[in-house]
Chains A and B, each alone.
Chain A
Amino acid sequence: KNQVEQSPQSLIILEGKNCTLQCNYTVSPFSNLRWYKQDTGRGPVSLTIMTFSENTKSNGRYTATLDADTKQSSLHITASQLSDSASYICVVSERSQGNLIFGKGTKLSVKP
């Protein structure tokens, strides 16, 4: 069954610190993997998208990695800010129909 697992479920860090969120998937055939940021009560906003051949992509202080062999991805946030507090969702698209499989997200809280 196509699944996306994220860890940790929640994370609290101090402002200015770095953190890394994990995403493991069993989606096949794989098309692409996206990381989204979702503020409370809002729709998710895309941070990065990676296809099979890409293993790193950056968007400002966000850097995503993809290992298609082990089916793992990570999202690294550097020099965290209070505004980074949100849920981060990993989404994998399977290639046959383009269906999206969502992880349950990691809730990040950045404290001053």
Chain B
Amino acid sequence: SQTIHQWPATLVQPVGSPLSLECTVEGTSNPNLYWYRQAAGRGLQLLFYSVGIGQISSEVPQNLSASRPQDRQFILSSKKLLLSDSGFYLCAWNQGRYSTEAFFGQGTRLTVV
């Protein structure tokens, strides 16, 4: 069966520190992968999506970057965190154009202090 792992669940980081959130998918191949952020009291905002290894599309200019070093691995990074980067980060995947389902990780609560 397909599963998605996202970690860590919570993270407290000082301003200016680097960030690395990892998401891996099991039980499928060549998934579409997504990173979303949900600021407090706001809806989900798509940050990045990837349709294949090394293919990253950015939806919103920001202090973050994403990489897909392997087919089922999606990494969200920052070189220097800002206070405004605080939020709830979700990784998701679906199987592309013929997908009838999308799956989400449990999320990472990031607090930048």
A44 proximity list for chain B (CB < 8 A): 44, 90, 104
In contact, B43 and A42 (Cβ under 8 angstroms): no
Q: Which of B23-53 contact A (CB under 8 A)?
A: 32, 34, 36, 42-44, 46, 49, 51
Question: What separation, in Å, do the CA atoms of A44 and B88 have in the docked complex?
Answer: 12
Closest-CB distance, B7 to chain A (whole angstroms): 13
Q: Which of B78-103 contact A (CB under 8 A)?
A: 88, 90, 92, 94-102
- Which residue in B44, B98, B107, B109 is a CB contact (below 8 Å) of A104? B44
A105 proximity list for chain B (CB < 8 A): 43-44
Size category of the B interface is: 20 to 34
Size category of the A interface is: 20 to 34
In contact, B94 and A98 (Cβ under 8 angstroms): yes
In contact, B32 and A99 (Cβ under 8 angstroms): yes
Q: Which residue of A lies closest to B105 (CB)?
A: A43
B42, B95, B102, B106: which has the most chain A beta carbons within 10 Å? Answer: B102
- Which residue in B44, B97, B107, B109 is a CB contact (below 8 Å) of A97? B97
Closest 10 CB pairs of A and B: A104-B43, A43-B104, A98-B97, A98-B96, A105-B43, A102-B44, A98-B99, A43-B106, A44-B104, A43-B107
